[in-house]
Chain A
Amino acid sequence: MMESGPMTGPVPTDGTADGAHPRSADLSGVPAKPNPADAQGELGGTFWRRFIFRRPLAALILQRLGLSVGLLFAVSLMIFGGIEALPGDFATTYLGQSATPQAVENIRKDLGLDRPWSERYLSWLGGAVQGDFGTSWASKNSVGEQIAKRLGNSLFLAFFAAIVSVPLAVGLGMLAVQFRNRLPDKIINVVSLAAISLPEFFVGYLLIMFFAVKFGVATFPATVYDSMSFTERLSAIALPVATLVLVVLAHMMRMTRAAILNVMSSAYVETAELKGLGMFRIIARHAAPNAVAPVINVIALNLAYLVVGVVVVEVVFVYPGMGQYMVDAVTVRDMPVVQACGLIFAAFYIFLNMAADILAILANPRLRHPR
């Protein structure tokens, strides 16, 4: 699962496949290598095998779901265990270098650092499943409560960014295909190549400079309160949403263009053309059903990127979301917060990647109508 965000630069034409499947590389492998799907099939024995044969679609989706749960579990282990394995004693960090050994000892006990790590991991994971992430070292507040508030804000931001960027990206991608290798396509290509290279914070400050400071049409910082009305909130997030859209748009558009072009150059589109069908019919009836899967895939992958893009944008606009919470916690080394935020961000990322894969599976006629 590739982080297909603006930071990765231009995508090769096969960008969709590139980002979508962690296993896609296996497809080009030699047949002698068992692929992981088979390996998993063997685990369950004959019942599973029969199930795969009878309901290949359901089996594939179940497999993908299982993989995601396993992945999330492994990630939680890495986020928790990895931190333990790395050097540096938190108690010392917490109190500063001049602390007495006695104070360090006390604080270790306070934070529960004296228990074995497997025990702490299990209790942490058990809590995390129920939404309890312990208390922050810095503020002594419940991490879960803080996250509940801020997660909503972050999702609000990402949701509107998605609503604006998805139709725009798909539309521009189709426009680029329509004018392939002509001026509009070339302009879109150059502009999107440039847009991919812009760091989020640069785009953010540029927008602030023009729209908030010079023209005064937007607000900065983009603070939201509980007491704000819905429209007030919307106007507050206008600039951060615009930033996110600009950042994610170019990528989504380029990948959409590549996906549609791939379908348009296929033999069955040529067949349709040789049947004397009109351009509209060719696109609507022959290209679109096959382009849906890769385009949905592109969208899901870029939404996954939004989850991460939110971090920087929130810092730029001083927006009270998860990203800012996490960055603040990292600077003061507030580990419970860092772990909780890391796990939640990773969960969203894994979930969206999974959604991308499952949608691609569902849209594949070969799997929908088995032999």
Chain B
Amino acid sequence: MPESSSAKNALLSVKNLKIEATSYPPGEPPKTVTLVEGVSFDLQKGKVLGLIGESGAGKSTIGLSALAYGRGGVRITGGQVLLDGKDILTLDKNGIRSIRGARVCYVAQSAAAAFNPAHRLGDQVIEASLRHGIMSREEAKKRALYLFQVLGLPNPESFGERYPHQVSGGQLQRAMTAMALCPNPELIVFDEPTTALDVTTQIDVLAAIKHAIEETHTAALYITHDLAVVAQISDDIMVLRHGKTVEYGTTKQVIEAPREDYTRALVSVRQTKRDEAPDQTGTQLKIEHVSAGYGNGFKVLHDVSMHLPKGQTLAIVGESGSGKSTLARVITGLLPPTEGRITFEGKELPRALKGRSTDELRRIQMIYQMADTAMNPRQTVRDIVGRPLSFYFGMHGAKKTARVKELLDQIEMGTRFLDRYPAELSGGQKQRVAIARALAAEPELILCDEPTSALDPLVAEGILNLLLKLQEETAVSYVFITHDIAIVRAIADSVAVMHRGRLVRFGPKSKVLAPPFDDYTDLLLKSVPEMEIGWLERVLATRRMESAGN
């Protein structure tokens, strides 16, 4: 454990924390689940501790315990949370209130929901300082202005006059940080503050947060699922899994010399790489000058052209709003293009879904981001995977069952899953079943719409490897839509970069991801956090140099 000798004068000292939640299913006896067990750590003044783990690892719950707060039916049932040596769990209501918003502050994942829509940002930012009597209105306003400047918000003088819905997501997240910093707290809990942001916005917010906590000497608990992000900002890291500590050490030790297998897997996840196909001349799928938009004349795609050889992978990369998912909808026929045409295996595809033959539909299959919503919750795995078999090939009875079993084998899941409902499967298993459903149609092209972005990194890695294996076995082509450059590096042959509905760059992976870059691709590539200490400083330094050079 890092610096355990100085535990006595730690700002925050959590000892053997146990947190439980009770749910009340109607008509059944209440169920108690243990969310966190035996977690201990120390945080010194002005230091940053990163809490990292998959969803459900209990990291947010631990973060909120620093404010003696539990969401819903969550209760802290054991251990101590010492703030400057005093156990805040034993305080009465008023005692807890005097800590929240004064000595410990909280930054939520979704600032858009966490700001009250009825009040101006400025009033909300200074509210806690005023109510706790920490400073006068004038002083608070001055401090807010200072924080707006430190956090790099536009027009800091008038920023506080605006309402939450009048500013962007990245600005709101910074405003929330300003709100937390305003009363000059000793500790701030950041709960996934950049997860909901686009990658190019994330880096700015991350830099602003880092700058602000350094400037104000505030200690922080930084909660995230992204190890590369936390490596940029924290002094120590605690890796959590299923509510228990996996590994706890300094950032340098955890990133560069992880002790546990689980941590090692997290660190190495992004290092899968695959060489691109040497010959990229074929054109199984050809998209020519496609434009598309929704009803009311709102154009989402402008004159997009690209192509994909048989048996290869085309990655379409871009941030939210870049039009990459719309392009997938256009290829499937769900959204007929307003201009341009799409050719598949040398034949032009009818624009709309209704115009396509069953065989044309069969040859292009789709895998969705959320396997949860992509499968009917009232059908078993057997029905879900079996339906394309009976629909396209007229299979039934024993033959169909045999083929379903074969497919389950192919996706590395046993036949014992045959009669399970989607709700009884884990996230990764659901996505595998979705892949099996696509494979059942014996397609020539599979559109993958961010199939791994909702999954935890290790599970996502498994899915990617499965997709690569299947491509080798069946020579199926993929159009892979993603916002994650690391995935593009791992699996693509050719890459298309999209920005605001336009194609920015297209070509073989080795060309697209190598200089000379256009401005946007450069920004995108440089914004992706790398699993390397000091990466953020390096990028910021380069940026400063470039802007100085210009």
Q: Do A and B originate from a single complex?
A: yes
User: Which residues on A are within 8 Å of B, measured CB to CB?
Assistant: 31-34, 38, 42, 266-268, 270-278, 281, 285-286, 289-290, 365-366, 369, 371
Chain B residues within 8 Å of A274, by CB: 67, 69, 100-101, 105-106
Q: Closest CB-CB distance, B83 to chain A, in whole Å?
A: 13
Cβ contact within 8 Å between A267 and B114: yes
Whether a CB of chain A sits under 8 angstroms from the CB of B474 is no
Task: Give 6 CB contacts A-B under 8 Å.
Answer: A32-B335, A270-B71, A271-B116, A276-B99, A365-B117, A371-B165
Are A276 and B132 touching (Cβ within 8 A)?
A: yes
CB–CB B165/A365 < 8 A: yes
A271-B115, A274-B106, A276-B132 given as contacts; is B295 within 8 A of A366 (CB)? no
A contact residues around B113 at 8 Å (CB): 266-268
Contacts of A271 on B, CB cut-off 8 Å? 106, 108, 114-116
Is the Cβ of A275 less than 8 Å from the Cβ of B295?
no
Complex Cα distance, B132 from A290, in Å, reads 24
Q: Is B511 an interface residue (CB 8 A)?
A: no
Contact A290-B100, Cβ < 8 Å, known A32-B294, A277-B131:
no
Q: Are B116 and A272 in contact (CB under 8 A)?
A: yes
The count of A-to-B residue pairs whose CB atoms sit within 8 angstroms is 82
Interface residues of B (CB under 8 A from A): 67, 69, 71, 96-102, 105-106, 108, 110, 113-119, 127-128, 131-132, 163, 165-166, 294-296, 335
Which partner residue on chain A sits nearest B112 by CB separation? A267
A50 to B245, CA, bound (A): 58
Assembly CA distance A286 to B131 (angstroms): 14
Query: DSSP majority for the A interface?
Result: helix
Contact B166 A369 (CB under 8 A): yes
Interface contact A273-B69, CB-CB below 8 Å: yes
Tell me which residues across on chain A come within 8 A of B295, comparing CB atoms.
31-34, 38
A186 to chain B, nearest CB (A): 14
Name the distance in Å between B299's Cβ and chain A's nearest Cβ.
13
Contacts of B110 in A (CB 8 A): 267
Cross-chain contact A31 with B294 (CB below 8 angstroms): yes
> Cβ of A276 and Cβ of B128 under 8 Å apart?
yes
Q: Which of A266, A271, A281, A371 has the most CB of B within 10 A?
A: A271
Smallest CB-CB separation from A277: which chain B residue? B131
Asked if residues B165 and A278 are in contact (CB atoms below 8 Å), the reply is no
State whether B100 touches A286 (Cβ < 8 A). no
Alpha-carbon distance A38/B294, docked complex (angstroms): 12
Min C-beta distance of A231 to chain B, whole Å = 43
Task: State the CA gap A267–B165 with chains docked (Å).
Answer: 15
Q: What residues of B have a CB within 8 angstroms of the CB of A366 in the complex?
A: 117, 163, 165
Contacts of B105 in A (CB 8 A): 274-275
A38 to B296, CA, bound (A): 7
- Asked whether A275 and B127 contact (CB < 8 A) given A32-B295, A270-B114, A286-B116, the answer is yes
CB distance from A309 to the nearest CB of B (A): 33
Bound CA–CA A198/B232 (angstroms): 65
Q: By the criterion CB–CB under 8 Å, are A369 and B163 in contact?
A: yes
4 closest pairs, A vs B, by CB? A275-B101, A276-B100, A276-B101, A267-B113
A277 CA to B117 CA in the complex, in Å? Answer: 18
Nearest-CB distance from A40 to chain B (Å)?
Answer: 12
